[in-house]
Structure 1
């Protein structure tokens, strides 16, 4: 009778640390079982993504700025890169924490449906921000003026708002929806030269020709005013670069003149306007100048058809000037 022989059991050579490696997933699963551990993992990945995005912006900032001509578009692209890196690390952290993406998408969908009405203005501002970046009404560094009178320099353009550094040393944050729907003046988009206008009235007895020459000379002698040179072209029209004084209209109290002059930079419009008006006043106030700046006069004429005017003039005495015969109680003593 033949007996079977069993094959020897193969032996496995132990590897140092093998038990530790095989137990790491178990240790990690036990760690995720602690309250708040999953949220900590997600936050850790988000923080790591923010740190990586900072170095990525430093690395990609110069190439992206050279790629795009407009600074606002380059900054928007860099913001998008930063957000994309943080979101990528965030979703990676969610997966590492063992959270199912489907549940999150369902929760986000329900949450978006609930707060959609609240977020509608923000979404509209973002959409308008895309139109602002595409239409290019202004660029960072341009001097602009909005319909409400806010004037200043564009400091930043985002998808939600435009930040303007005003001439009063304050910041104005204007939503892009307002920027797109409102009237915006750009003083420095292509040509910084700006034309200003001053109205001057002289009397009919004045030498109007002399007044026009003096007004033009006064403006040309002011600093930052373009005193001459080639005509300035706007579209298909050309305008004289030197200050020019025109006869605007004949008014009730005098001849209305209109001075038009160009300034090199639009940064101190009020100061330049005051400087030109002061120079015009000094020129016309000279004793040798046969020019008079009139002011309205009104004359009341009464005749037989005007009726009767009863006029009574009474001298008003100061409070301290009292009759010594009057007693303290107000009576005259009699």
Structure 2
């Protein structure tokens, strides 16, 4: 060992190290460790340039992962050559094995194809808030890979969906271009109250809530413009009252549930001094001569204790 440390020629030093028991394996481990951390530092160093070129975090992450994977594959092949493995024969074996795995792993391949299509079509991007229609799974996109999409839900849980699955589903993107979201709440007021006052009450109670857009320029969606301030519309004359649809816009897509609660609280406070009453269903039970008769069975022992004659014992209507 002293002789090895005293050598000044790196090639001779490596040859002497290889001749030691287990020396080949030490070099292989060293090459793999250097490749692992070296590729990590390399991707970190070139990330700003790659980001400026692609301008999309999801594509940038995948490109850097592929570069790092390529560096590790090259390191593994180099390490196998150091161990005396014939790389050409290995490639032939890998080709045959790949053909077999292609049949077995066909479902996974569809995930990779769907992941590539997601990157090309861009239905959503990292940090966007999306919702899987019909499942009510809403959250922020944390990561997009060629295999899956990872979502951080509003319940602070991770949802990992294969790309082939999410690509075939309807996805709502709440923050692709504009984070403002419209919310609709239906109220029912009685026919005896002031209908116009009810509409003003709902709009006034909503405007004063932080997070609700209380006014300003109309919000444009496609070729249609919608009023930014809260608006209450009469939608139906129902069985128990008049239905009013209250529509308003919130600033952030994750606020609708919180805003709904605050709107109900604000409306409840406004009801005290207003000629408005919220309707609720009433049930009236009506009985007449066609409703039937209720029969009461009187026990004989009870009639005896009451002193009733035997002729009056039995069933009474």
Shorter-normalised TM-score: what interval? 0.7 to 0.9
Contact 1:41–1:97 (Cα < 8 Å) also in 2: no
Match of 1:297 among 260, 268, 282: 282
The yes-or-no answer on 1:180 pairing with 2:167 is yes
**Structure 2: how far apart are the matches of 1:313 and 1:160?**
74
**Structure 2: how far apart are the matches of 1:41 and 1:123?**
35
Aligned length: 289
- For residue 254 of structure 2, give the secondary structure of its aligned residue in structure 1: helix
The structure having more radius of gyration, on CA atoms, is 1
Structure 2 alignment gaps of length 5 or more: 1-8, 299-317
The yes-or-no answer on 1:146 pairing with 2:132 is yes
Instruction: Please list the CA deviations of residues 12-42 of structure 1 after superposition, one character each: whole Å capped at 9, or x if unmatched.
Output: xxxxxxxxx9x97xx68x859x8x8776655
Instruction: Please list the CA deviations of residues 304-323 of structure 1 after superposition, one character each: whole Å capped at 9, or x if unmatched.
Output: 4x242316599xxxxxxxxx
Of 79-88 and 93-102, more deviation after overlay is shown by 93-102
> Partner of 1:325 in structure 2?
none
- For residue 267 of structure 1, give the secondary structure of its aligned residue in structure 2: coil
> Partner of 1:75 in structure 2?
61
Q: 5 Å matches for 1:91-240?
A: 91-147=77-133, 148-240=135-227
Q: Give the RMSD, CA atoms, in angstroms.
A: 2.9
Q: Judging by fraction of residues, say which structure has more helix.
A: 2
> Partner of 1:254 in structure 2?
241
Report the TM-score when normalising by structure 1. 0.78
- After superposition, the Cα gap between the structure-2 partners of 1:312 and 1:205, relative to the gap in structure 1 and judged at 3 Å, is farther
**Structure 2: how far apart are the matches of 1:307 and 1:56?**
87
Instruction: Please list the CA deviations of residues 123-179 of structure 1 after superposition, one character each: whole Å capped at 9, or x if unmatched.
Output: 221111111111111111111222322222111111111121222222222211122
Of 214-223 and 114-123, more deviation after overlay is shown by 114-123
- After superposition, the Cα gap between the structure-2 partners of 1:113 and 1:40, relative to the gap in structure 1 and judged at 3 Å, is farther
Structure 1 alignment gaps of length 5 or more: 1-20, 315-334
**Structure 1: how far apart are the matches of 2:202 and 2:72?**
63
The yes-or-no answer on 1:310 pairing with 2:294 is yes
**Structure 1: how far apart are the matches of 2:41 and 2:224?**
51
> Partner of 1:329 in structure 2?
none
Contact 1:201–1:294 (Cα < 8 Å) also in 2: yes
Q: How far did 1:43 drift? A: 4.7
Instruction: Please list the CA deviations of residues 88-116 of structure 1 after superposition, one character each: whole Å capped at 9, or x if unmatched.
Output: 22223333433222321232233334433
